[in-house]
Amino acid sequence: MKNYRALTWDHPRGYHALAAASDVARGEKLVDIVWDKHPLEGFESHPIAELCEKYDLVVLDHPHVGEAVAENCLQPLESIFSMEVLAKIGQETIGPCLESYFYDGSTWALPLDAATQVMAVRPELLDGPVPVTWADVAAFSERSGKVALSLAGPHAALSFLSVCASLGEEPGRDGNEFLVSEPVGEAAFDLMARLAAKSLRSVMSLNPIGILAHMASQDDVALCPLIYGYVNYSAPKSGNRVSFHNAPREAVGGRPGSTLGGTGIGISKRCEVTPDLKHHLLWLMSSEAQSRFIPGHEGQPSQRSAWHDGGVNGAWGDFYRNTADTLEAAYVRPRFNGYIGFQAEASAILRDAFENRQPAAQAVLTLNDTYRKALERSR
C-alpha cells in the first residue's frame, strides 16, 4: 500500500470528507493518504509551486492553474485519465466546474467541490420576501442597515466581478486589455459603494466563514448578497440557521451574477500515480461519493445530480436546490500567471476607494490600469 501526502484547507467542508474517504481506502489497503490542512487564506494565496514540492495531492482553486502551468508543478489529467473518463466527469459536473480547470490545452484538477457566491440570509430578520434583484437588496439595506458586504482578502474584487457579470459583462474576457468597460464598472462600483457605506464595520475584516459564523450567532446582519456558500451553516449544530439563495440579478429573470469558487484536486509532479490512487480519485467523483459520502461528511459535492437530490437537500435545508441556478451560470475568472496577485491588489484598491468615497470613474480607471499591468507582467 503506497503512502501519499496531501493538502487541503482547514474547514469541515474542505477536510472531513477527504479524511474519511482516506480512512476507507486505508482500511481496504488501497492507498494511505494523509491529509494536512492549511488556513483559508493560505488556500487563496500560497504559491502553488511551494505546495507541490511537499505534497502529492493539492486541493486548489482554479485561478491558480495559470501559475501552476508556468511553474510546471502539476500533472495534466489527460496524462492520467482517458478522454472518455474526463468527458464523463465534465458532463456530470454542475456549471463550469471542470471547465474552470482547463487551461493552456490541458485539465489540471478534478472538480471535487462546487461553490460560487450566493446570497446568505437570516429570513426571520427580513421585513419581507428574500430579495431577488440588486434594487431589492439596496432598498433593504437603506431600510434596515442590516446588509453586509464580503470585502476582506480577495473578496472585494470577487464581489465586484460578480456585480459586473450580473450587469451583463464578464470582466477580463480573453483578448481584452482592460478588466471591465467604464459604464459597467462604474455602475457596479456605485452599487457596492452604496452598500459598503451602510455595511456593518465589525464584519468588514472577516472572511466568508467569519461572516457566516457572525450571522449564525448575531442578529445585526440579516443578509450578505454575495458570499461563498458553505452548506454547513444551513443546518448548524448550534446557533441560528443561515439560508442560502441565488445571487442577486439586475432584473427579474436576468443572470444571477456570481464568481465561481469551489476546489479541485491537483496531482503534483512528485506524485507516483498508481492504479489504486486512480481508483480512489475516481471514486471521489462517483455518484455514490458525490450524492452520499461527501454530503454525509459535511462536504459540498460537485456533481449536478447531487445538487438536485431530494435526500441531500432535505438534510441541508435546500441549500443546493436554492442556489443551483447561480452555480450553473457562474462566471469563471481569468487564470493567467499573476492573476492571484492582481486579485489581491484589486481588492485593496476597492476597499480604499469605498473608505475614502472615491469617484467611481477614478476607481475603475485604477482597476483597469492595474489589470493591464498584470497582463503585461504575465507575458
- Average pLDDT for the chain: 95
Residue 34 has pLDDT above 90, yes or no: yes
147 and 195 Cβ atoms separated by less than 8 Å: yes
Residue 41 has pLDDT above 80, yes or no: no
CATH level 3 topology of 117-259+338-378: D-Maltodextrin-Binding Protein; domain 2 (3.40.190)
pLDDT by residue (tens digit) across 125-175?
999 999 999 999 999 999 999 999 999 999 999 999 999 999 999 999 877
Residue 42 confidence class, pLDDT cut points 50, 70, 90: low
Please give the share of the chain, as a percent, with pLDDT higher than 90.
Answer: 91
- Which set of grid coordinates corresponds to residue 124? 426571520
Name the residue ranges covered by the structural domains of the chain: 2-115+262-325, 117-259+338-378
**Average pLDDT of the residues in 225-254:** 94
Q: What are phi and psi of 267, to 5 degrees?
A: -110, 115
- Which set of grid coordinates corresponds to residue 241? 440557521
- Predicted pLDDT of residue 43: 63
- Predicted pLDDT of residue 379: 84
Rounded Cα distance, 86 and 66, in Å: 20
- Which set of grid coordinates corresponds to residue 41? 487564506
pLDDT by residue (tens digit) across 308-331?
999 999 999 999 999 999 999 999
Rounded Cα distance, 343 and 335, in Å: 11
Residue 122 has pLDDT above 70, yes or no: yes
pLDDT by residue (tens digit) across 167-214?
999 999 877 899 999 999 999 999 999 999 999 888 999 999 999 999
Rounded Cα distance, 150 and 225, in Å: 8
pLDDT by residue (tens digit) across 248-270?
999 999 999 999 999 999 999 99
- Which set of grid coordinates corresponds to residue 318? 435546500
317: helix, strand or coil: coil
Query: Do 2-115+262-325 and 117-259+338-378 share a fold?
Result: yes
| CB within 8 Å of 146: residues ≥ 6 apart | 125, 140, 200, 220, 221, 222, 223
- Predicted pLDDT of residue 44: 66
- Which set of grid coordinates corresponds to residue 192? 457596492
Domain 2-115+262-325 has CATH 3.30.565.10: no
Please give the share of the chain, as a percent, with pLDDT higher than 70.
Answer: 99
Q: Quick one: which H or E segment has residue 48?
A: helix 48-54
pLDDT by residue (tens digit) across 284-305?
999 999 999 999 999 999 999 9
Q: How many helices (H) and strands (E) does the chain have?
A: 17, 10
Question: What's the start-to-end Cα distance of the chain, in Å?
Answer: 43
